[in-house]
Amino acid sequence: MPDTKALLIAGTASGVGKTTVAAGLMATLGRKYKVQPFKVGPDFIDPGHHTQICGRSSRNLDSFMMGEKGVLETFARASKGADFSIIEGVMGLFDGLDTTEIASSAHIAKILDVPVLLVINAHGASRSIAAVVKGFSEFDSKVRIKGIILNNTGSNRHIQLIKDSLHGAGIPVIGALPINKELSIPSRHLGLHMAGENEPKISELANFIEQHIDMDSLKTIAGNFKARDISKVKKEQFTVRIGIANDSAFCFYYQDAFDALKMSGAQLVFFSPMSDPVPEVDGLYLGGGYPELFAKELEASGTRLEIKKAAQDGMPIYGECGALLYLGASLETDRNYRMAGVLGANSRMTTKLQALGYTEAVVIADSPVAKKGAVIRGHEFHYSVTDCDRDSRFAYELNRGKGILKGRDGLMENNTIASYMHTHPASNSFDEFLGQCRKYGSR
């Protein structure tokens, strides 16, 4: 099977239109080809839109959480069978962790050696764009910027002035997009709207991109890519059933997590804590999402009591971010709602962002997901505060990040652990969790 063609869509900064370009290219190419989408960074929301557009699950590529090996493995596995792989970048091309390149779009481009299309906001500028292109192209010669897409352009004369100023730069302008506010996606408190809530105008977006971008040139640039071969690692097999909360309240998961569980032999059973009973499983995995928007439904469902009973029975339960709020005793939004009561903690929503960024945790006590001494990388993003009982036990001490209380995260009770930190299986495998589930199921 031939290698996929590939492109990374980067911007000079956040807000220049790379999401519109990336989604539009996915939609346009998807009319004739199989397109595999990717997103640089830990974001959960853009991949949902990518998946909806392409009909293939979008994957995150994050060099901080996954490491170079994890990035290469995910790309090789996910792009198999795709004609084109389109990677949407994050922030500005060179913006990474603190002042490093780690977790930047440029770092991903270098790891994969993938050609880059640079999106530039052309509003209010002409010859100055040549200076921007010169700076970006020379900043790191290992990043292969192969094409320019101008966004928010004015008249044809405006476009020509920019092209003339770029003469001799060696990087062609392959697209010029006029202002089109109708194709933007509105934002809300935790980022963009989830896929399915605000249906993207996929057909209109595809037409817009096809009209204003030279697709033949784009395909030629994308063809200048060769994927690296990655050796497969044999995984230990666990014959277990894992219940996964999957609905509007719990919807932040990495597709790689599901893949890792399946490749380790786990059978995944999806259910909604708002409307379904707890399935017959050996362990539970509850992700992040928006439990605060569905607190009334979560309180009214008897599932929360079933989960508490399972936890008291010793079932391994792993929760991330939104799941931490649900597994506690209560969640305060417009009023106080009763939650599962598995953990000795009470959470409340605030109007202020409480934590945002990458995390690095040292495991200070054996837990259902990792042994003492392990180091786990992840990220946190939440507007809530969680107050814990005085005798609360924590599994993680953070070298980086805020966590639940004074740099500690991973609240534990019985065989349950929940944290504000989201993790990726490339940083911390599911082997310990699956082993605990197997032990529980064989009692």
**Helix, strand, or coil (residue 378):** strand
Instruction: Give the Cα separation of 87 and 115 in Å (integer).
Output: 10
Of the candidates 395, 390, 391, 392, the residue with the CA atom closest to the CA atom of residue 420? 395
H or E element at residue 147? strand 145-153
CA distances from 367 to 80, 113, 395, 436 (A): 35, 38, 6, 10
Catalytic site includes residue 321: yes
Beta-carbon contacts of residue 329 (< 8 Å; ≥ 6 apart): 338, 339, 341, 343, 344, 345, 346
What gap in Å lies between CA 431 and CA 413, rounded to an integer?
A: 20
Q: Estimate to the nearest angstrom the gap between the alpha carbon of 348 and the chain centroid.
A: 25
Q: Which of 263, 271, 310 is nearest to 443 (CA)?
A: 310
Q: Residue 139 — left, alpha, or beta (φ > 0 → left; ψ -120 to 50 → alpha)?
A: alpha
Residue 3, CA distances (Å) to 8, 34, 91, 229, 250 in order: 16, 12, 28, 10, 35
Token pair listed for 281: 């499983």
Q: Which of 54, 321, 388, 437 is catalytic?
A: 321
* Dihedral angle of Cα 173, 174, 176, 177, to the nearest 10 degrees: -140
Residues annotated as catalytic are 321
